Amino acid sequence: MDNLILLCPIIAVLLLAVFFIYKLKVREKEETKKQIIQSGDRGEFKVQHTLRVLDKPNSRYKVYHNVNLGPDSEHTNEYDTVIVGPNGIFHIETKNYGGERGGIIDIDNNGNWILHKKNGHSKIITNPAGQVDSHQYRLQGFMNKVVGVRNLPIQGIIVLSCDNITLRSNRKKDEAIPIIGRRELVNYIKRYNKGKKILYPRTINKICKNIESMNSIARAN
């Protein structure tokens, strides 16, 4: 009994230490998550600034940021950017890999992404192609079921917003999802003609009206 009494303060100190270590790890995870979100927001802001040239009043393009779209209001994906224009509908997934300092992204033959930071650290990052494929599926459902139009050219794009990032890829140049820097984005969209189909102003207006309507309902809820 005496030994147990003597051990009680030690046990209490150990439990207290474990508690503080746990809280510290939780706080570190929350801070890391916060930094990732902030980095992503900065990347999206850069792309939004780049796309201002397409969003002028006399532009043939309509640009939407942070919208939710899908075949119905219960099954939607959130899109960083959606652009509707005479040569197609574009959905953009923005990635700010490398933050402000930059680095190198290697993509191997199996589609694995490895980020090499300038501080010497390297890590495997999730290939965003799966996310873009999901957006493509939902967007096609939106066009078919909500807008009521089919077979329109819809193109997903991965945009690397960091200007100091270098891409080294073994991918084929004709991959379905292009990976480009933000400064290449406007020219890519303007020159895109893979759909070889013109969207008339009436169709563009119909699509835009439904995008705005679906997001007005989401905000109201």
CB burial class (10 A; 0-12, 13-18, 19+) of residue 105? buried
pLDDT over 70, % of the chain = 78
CB 121 within 8 A of CB 101: no
pLDDT at 60: 94
- Rounded distance, CA 55 to CA 19, Å? 52
Domain locations along the chain:
3-220
Q: Token pair for residue 59? A: 């532009």
Residue of 172 and 50 predicted with greater confidence: 50
pLDDT tens digits along 141-182: 999 999 999 999 999 999 999 999 999 987 766 679 999 999
Would you place residue 59 in the very low, low, confident or very high pLDDT band (cuts 50, 70, 90)? very high
CA distances from 125 to 21, 97, 105, 156, 185 (A): 27, 9, 9, 19, 23
**Amino acid at site 49:** H
pLDDT tens digits along 83-102: 999 999 999 999 999 887 88
CB 195 within 8 A of CB 85: no
- Rounded distance, CA 186 to CA 5, Å? 73
